[in-house]
Structure 1
Amino acid sequence: MSNPSSLVRNKFGRTALIALVAVVLLAAPLFLPPFANQTLVRIGVYAVAVLGLNIVMGYTGQVNLGQIFFVGLGAYVTAYGVNQGWNIVLVFLAACAIAGIVGLLVALAAARLGGLAIAMVTIALPIVGVPLAKRLEEFTGGSQGISARFSDAPDWSGLYSDQWQFYIILLVTVIAFLLARNLVRGKYGRAFGVVRENEAVAASMGVSPYRTKVLAFTIASIYGGASGFLYLAAVQYTSPETLSFGHSISLVAAMVIGGAGSIVGSLIGGAYYVFVPQLTNAIDPSFTTLSQGAILLAVLFLLPEGLVSLPRVIRRLTRRGSTRSIPGTDPPQDRFAAPASHGGGPGGTRTN
């Protein structure tokens, strides 16, 4: 039975830790240089994209290799709305809604498929999206791309633009993660888990695998649209390159490395997506792809549940090591000692 005092202490500790993290995040952009703020901003952008991907792949077990399409779609909708003079809140809602509607239409057609078939459908999204973005020049700027400035710091804020952008991304990212946490811990999260494990069992329990997968894919698309809005807030420019299929594969790798089926793993995945290419490019740009592939293989072999499981693995190994070091009730026996005699001579009686 749990000790009430220990539960109170644990709850107080978690609350104190959350408060400390909140204070650090709110104060950090005021003291960090612009480059550090921009790096943290990009982590928030891609953490939201990875989070959406995690909902559909990590929690529901449905293949989605086209998440970057919805990120790019959200970015284009944001750029168009800003250039048309729309209210910024309306722009954000439009980016999420349009990405969600497109995701719903794709999911209605693809959710009945499985395995390789649905993978091919999602792969087609960024492949079709790039030439489509180039052709719709009136809305997308064509091959040259389109820019939109809306995240510069207002005069009344007293902040620099990189600090203002940090707070915009922080606000949206925190809300997105809290909503996702509540989602996966509620009845929909349980439905996602049952469908992921066994669709036949889910159907026997009254959970429709088709509707559940459609819901998960649509939510992932909405998160992609929100990430696209944040991307434009951070970069203030987008082009067909944003929709590149290579970026979509990198998002999947980031989700796996961070931890599939984990909210915190999505944040780690966003950090991986930003930091590792910077590090590998600084070492040797020609080996960037090779080194990232090697990192992915290493994590899959050593930490199949992703980097988020590293503390748990360390605790397990530490506990195993401490258990081995605890002496037993009997002293260790010398393998090379002669067996004790059962007679009555010296040393002939064993003492327990």
Structure 2
Amino acid sequence: MAAVSDLLRNRWVRLGILLVVAVLLLLAPLMLPVFWNQTLTRVGVYAVAVLGLNIIMGYTGQVSLGQIFFVGLGAYVTAWGVNNDWNIVLVFIAAFAVAGLAGLLVALAAARLGGLAIAMVTIALPIVGVPLAKRLVDFTGGSQGTSARFSSAPDWTGLDNDQWQFYIVLVIAVIAFVLARNLVRGKFGRAMAIVKENEAVATSMGISPYRYKVLAFTIASIFGGVAGFLYMVAVQYTSPETLHFGHSISLLAAMVIGGAASIVGSLLGGFYYVLVPQLTNAIDPNLTAIIQGIILLAVLFVLPGGLVSLPRVFRRFRRHREGTFTGAIPKTTPDSAPPVEAAPEGPEKTERQGQA
């Protein structure tokens, strides 16, 4: 294990692994059946949504329970633009721009709040969004929802629709993850970490907590809008059900199980969001919620840092075993303490014994 860990620290080895993964991702849709292509496409959609949630909650430490609202908003904007014959690039820009603008307006009002107050504001977004979507019939299609078919594979590609959709989601998701990684590892990410740790310290260092909360919430909303566009690429239909508050809770659970404040954890969260409901439905559809709750509790109990912390737990366990079996210095106990030698008798004591 130590040799493998040392090998993975080599830059060229990591680049080689990355290249192999890239090749596998490019070849996967050509070899997998339709079901798995569609499943992995949806994983990419929700991984981007979880990524946005991770930026505001995992990295900045702010409560947001309304991420699904921005996903649904991006989906509706995409459908409206496609149905009005907009250029698809313009539709994509509008999807995340409108979601980002909505997130900015909410953040300007909510970022000064804290704790339960901001949680209540974000909870209100999907709760209000569902009836609003049902009423705005001209824009949303009302309770029946609206469809937008724009992601069929062009004839010149020679690909099936599921393969073409996989590649669209793959390209946009990779760009989103690279941008997020650079963001959280740069100056902005360090400032967010300080705000999360202690707002008073951040203020003393010249960092405005309010400003970075607003920016983080806006960026999270933009990623939500991107996920909404990708949702329409994959599903090509949306309805008020897309905005349901239960989906926000599922996104939150996916972020926690994947790993908060982790880019890789967001990807794992996307897998959890898509694959675990399929697994629980296959076991017993009537027990889906109960089984998912048990899985959530089990992961949090064993891996408080989420699935992304699993390698760290293995390394800690390995070091503990090596320390146990290779003879770590034992603790000194009263039974194992060396005997104390008697002090030599001095001349005065010898003379007193002679006189006696």
Same fold (TM over 0.5): yes
> Would the alpha carbon gap of residues 7 and 321 (structure 1) be closer, same or farther in structure 2, given more than 3 Å must change?
closer
1:197 aligned onto 2:200? no
- What one-letter code is carried by the residue in structure 2 that aligns with 1:136? L
On the 8 A contact 2:73/2:95 being kept in 1, the answer is: yes
Map 1:38-117 → 2, pairs under 5 A: 38-117=38-117
Q: Match of 2:29, SS? A: helix
Q: Counterpart of 1:249? A: 249
User: Please, which runs of 5 or more residues in structure 1 have no aligned partner?
Assistant: 1-5, 343-352
Q: Distance in 1 between matches of 2:237 and 2:305?
A: 35
The runs of 5 or more residues in structure 2 that have no matched partner are 1-5, 342-356
CA contact (8 A) 2:7 2:13 kept: no
The structural deviation recorded for 1:297 is 1.2
Residues 329 and 317 (structure 1), Cα distance of their counterparts in 2 relative to 1, 3 Å cut: closer
Specify whether residues 75 and 8 from structure 1 end up closer, same or farther in structure 2 by C-alpha distance, changes over 3 A only: closer
CA distance in 2, matches of 1:27, 1:295: 32
Q: Indicate how the Cα distance of structure 1 residues 283 and 140 shifts in structure 2: closer, same or farther if over 3 A, else same.
A: same
* Residue in structure 2 matched with residue 10 of structure 1 by the alignment: 10
Shift of 1:9: 7.0
Runs of 4+ in 1 over 2 A off after TM superposition: 6-9, 327-330
2:349 is matched with: none
**Counterpart AA for 1:181:** R
Whole-angstrom distance in 2 between the partners of 1:67 and 1:8: 35
Equivalence for 2:326: 326
Deviations 1:33-81 (A, max 9, x none): 0000000000000000000000000000000000000000000000000
d(CA) in 2 for partners of 1:141, 1:251: 25
Higher Cα Rg, which structure: 2
For residue 121 of structure 1, what is the aligned residue in structure 2? 121
Show the counterpart of 2:133: 133
What is the root-mean-square deviation in Å for CA atoms of aligned residues?
2.0
Instruction: Give the Cα separation in 2 of the matches to 1:8 and 1:39.
Output: 30
Q: Does 1:271 align with 2:251?
A: no
1:94 is displaced (CA, Å) by 0.2
Residue 90 of structure 2 aligns with an amino acid whose one-letter code is L
CA distance in 2, matches of 1:219, 1:8: 32
How many pairs does the alignment contain?
331
Q: CA deviation at 1:8?
A: 11
Tell me the equivalent position of 2:184.
184
User: Which residue number corresponds to residue 345 of structure 2?
Assistant: none
Residue type at the aligned position of 1:95: A
Q: Shift of the alpha carbon at 1:327? A: 3.7
SS in 1 for 2:159: coil
Partner of 1:151: 151
Cα distance in 1 for residues equivalent to 2:328 and 2:135: 75
Quick one: distance in 1 between partners of 2:290 and 2:206?
46
Structure 1 residue 293 displacement after superposition: 1.1
Residue-by-residue CA offset, 1:188-239 (whole Å, 9 max, x unaligned): 0001100000000000000000000000000000000000000000000000
Letter in 2 for 1:152: S
In structure 2, the CA distance between the partners of 1:113 and 1:171, relative to structure 1 (3 Å rule), is same
State the distance in 2 between where 1:30 and 1:107 align. 43
CA distance in 1, matches of 2:316, 2:72: 41
Q: Deviation at 1:329?
A: 8.8
**Conserved 8 A contact 2:50-2:255:** yes
- SS where residue 229 of structure 1 aligns? helix
TM-score for the superposition, normalised by structure 2:
0.90
Q: Deviations over 1:13-49 (max 9, x none)?
A: 1110110010000010000000000000000000000
CA distance in 2, matches of 1:292, 1:275: 11
Change (3 A) 1:34 1:195: same
Query: What is residue 344 of structure 2 aligned with on the other side?
Result: none
Q: Contact 2:8 / 2:14 at 8 angstroms: preserved in 1? A: no
User: What whole-Å deviation, never above 9, does each CA across 1:291-327 have from its counterpart, x for those lacking one?
Assistant: 1111111111111110000111011101211221114
Matches of 2:251 and 2:225, distance apart in 1: 15
**Paired AA for residue 36 in structure 1:** W
Q: 1:267 to 1:9 in 2, by over 3 A?
A: closer
Are residues 296 and 9 of structure 1, via their aligned partners in 2, closer, same or farther at CA, if it must alter by over 3 Å?
closer
Give SS of 1:172's match. helix
Instruction: Give the whole-Å Cα distance in 2 for the aligned partners of 1:8 and 1:200.
Output: 39
